[in-house]
Copies of this chain bind each other. A is one copy, B any other.
Amino acid sequence: MLFLKAKLLDIDLLDLILVNPNDLKASQYFAGDRVVLIYKNKNEFGTIYSSTLVNSGEVGITKSLAKSLGVKEGDSITIKHAEKPKSLAYIKKKMDGNKLTKEEIFSIVDEMVNKKLTNIEISAFVTSIYINDMDMEEIEALTVRMAETGETVEWDSLVFDVHSIGGVPGNKYALLTVPIVASAGLKIPKTSSRAITSAAGTADVMEVLTRVDLSIEEIKRVVKETNGCLVWGGALNLAPADDITINVERPLDIDPKPLLLASVMAKKLAMGVGKLLIDIPIGYEVKVKNEKEGGRLARDFIELGERVNILTECALTYGNQPIGRAIGPALEAKEALEALEDPYKAPSSLIDKATHLAGILLEMGGVAPSGEGKELAESLLERKAYDKFMEIIVAQGGKEVRSEDIELGKYFADIVAPKDGYVVKISNKKLTKIAKEAGAPNDKKAGIYLNVKVGSKVEKGDVLYTIYSSSEERLKDAVKLSRILWPVNVEGILIKRIIRF
């Protein structure tokens, strides 16, 4: 056991614990050891490293760790070796291919949230699930505990939500769907994420127009006033275990189905959602490659929904090219506003997706008869959605806005067709890379505006797309990258000339 005085470090590496090399040498502790820090009746876990940034007798801890412990600079902290996490045995049980009990899964989730497990153990868990899978009973336990171990929200009436499992750039449909549904009298408190690997998450797009980091109290007020909201879920500590596993899944580039299901449903369960529509884009560059796979995933979502008491429906949608023409926070916000101002001028893929999904929600909510939801959604989009969206923007702390008010990056460059022909393919992944190179999502004004979609006829020299950025240098880099990647393929009608055969 060590007793050292706290020295607060301003680093965002939560579990970093620094001890002077002399103190370390004299102790039974080694660099890399997992320890528990004890102060009064609280404890937190961390990893010890040797550093002369702290003097002998001091222990360096991050400000956020100090906050969780309630420790101030100079307070005396007790340090002990952390025991092996209890749930390690259950992770090994999954490694060995066995089914876990509810209690075992609860223990794993609890120790993830308490930071008793490090990325090494969490990666082993994620990998074991990827290889050995989980059945629906295990997934249910995972979902329920993930939801329980964070913030939870209760409502006094039924609330709806719509969630896209992602992968398609330009997917700003929610900025239309939410106000349509809210304007029909259904409550729809939509939480969304910022971009993780994409060029703009729904929260990034919405942030161009208003505040998105609302507290639960604020969300409740906004929904009471307007029936809807579009906020950033990350501000709410919903299902924190989900974020912990995602941080491990991302570098591994895997998304095992049990975790995908639990991830979506735990956040919805925590938000108190009663009826949920899940959008499953299908395409060669998104998570779900074909309809068969999509159908299987949809059935799993519906079954899991039944188990955790969320009435769930799913929609398989076309995901082989971006939705609409705009990619990047400001560009997408502008396009969504244009569509709300005048749906007839907007790209049909955006209108179609937004009203299809809204229509299903309207039918689920009983405000449209079966088969008539889309029509009602279209009519609400034309008549009411813009006003409703302005109400929501204002209630969240923003001001009424028109599409022409949205500023785009002041540097831009057109990329033109190298020859006559037709657009045969548009790569989601390549467009995303280029938009990010231009600065999206951090530079909200950066992104891409597509002048063409798959099937467009073009002549040599026609503009295929325009890249925007707030930085001249970034724009140059993005243009350079676009010359390497060629995200929009143009082919002549004559594909290949064969001279002899």
Please list the residues of chain A having a beta carbon within 8 angstroms of any beta carbon in chain B: 9-13, 16, 18, 25-28, 31-32, 34, 49-53, 84, 88, 91-92, 95, 97, 118-121, 123-124, 126-128, 130-132, 247-248, 251-254, 436, 439, 442
Contacts and interface: CB of A to CB of B under 8 A. Distances in A.
Q: How many copies does the complex hold?
A: 2
Contacts of A18: 11
Q: 8 shortest A-B CB distances, which residue pairs? A: A123-B123, A11-B51, A127-B127, A10-B52, A124-B127, A120-B123, A13-B49, A12-B50
Nearest to A440: B28
B51 A131 contact: no
**Max chain B Cβ within 10 angstroms of own Cβ: one of A53, A121, A124:** A124
10 contacts: A12-B50, A12-B51, A13-B49, A28-B436, A91-B252, A95-B127, A118-B251, A120-B248, A124-B124, A127-B127
A121 B251 contact: yes
A132 B127 CA distance: 11
Given A27-B442, A130-B95, A88 B248 contact: no
B254 A131 contact: no
Contacts of A16: 13
Given A92-B254, A128-B131, A12 B28 contact: no
**Max chain B Cβ within 10 angstroms of own Cβ: one of A28, A34, A84, A118:** A28
A463 to B, nearest CB: 26
A124 B34 CA distance: 20
Contacts of A88: 252-253
Contacts of A127: 95, 123-124, 127-128, 131
A11 B97 contact: no
Contacts of A91: 252
Contacts of A120: 119-120, 123, 248, 251-252
A105 to B, nearest CB: 18
Given A18-B11, A251-B121, A131 B97 contact: yes
A61 to B, nearest CB: 13
A28 B442 contact: yes
A84 B254 CA distance: 13
Given A123-B123, A131-B132, A51 B10 contact: yes
B12 A31 contact: yes
Contacts of A252: 88, 91-92, 120-121, 124
Contact of A119 (B28, B31, B97, B123): B123
Nearest to A18: B11
A94 to B, nearest CB: 9
Contact of A32 (B34, B97, B247): B247
B128 A25 contact: no
A320 to B, nearest CB: 23
A234 to B, nearest CB: 13
**Max chain B Cβ within 10 angstroms of own Cβ: one of A51, A120, A251:** A120
A422 to B, nearest CB: 33
A442 B18 CA distance: 19
Contacts of A119: 118-120, 123
A251 B436 contact: no
Contacts of A12: 31, 49-51
A25 B442 contact: yes
Contacts of A51: 9-12
Nearest to A126: B124
B254 A95 contact: yes
A436 B49 CA distance: 20
A479 to B, nearest CB: 15
Nearest to A11: B51
A484 to B, nearest CB: 14
Contact of A50 (B11, B251, B436, B439): B11
Contact of A123 (B25, B124, B254): B124
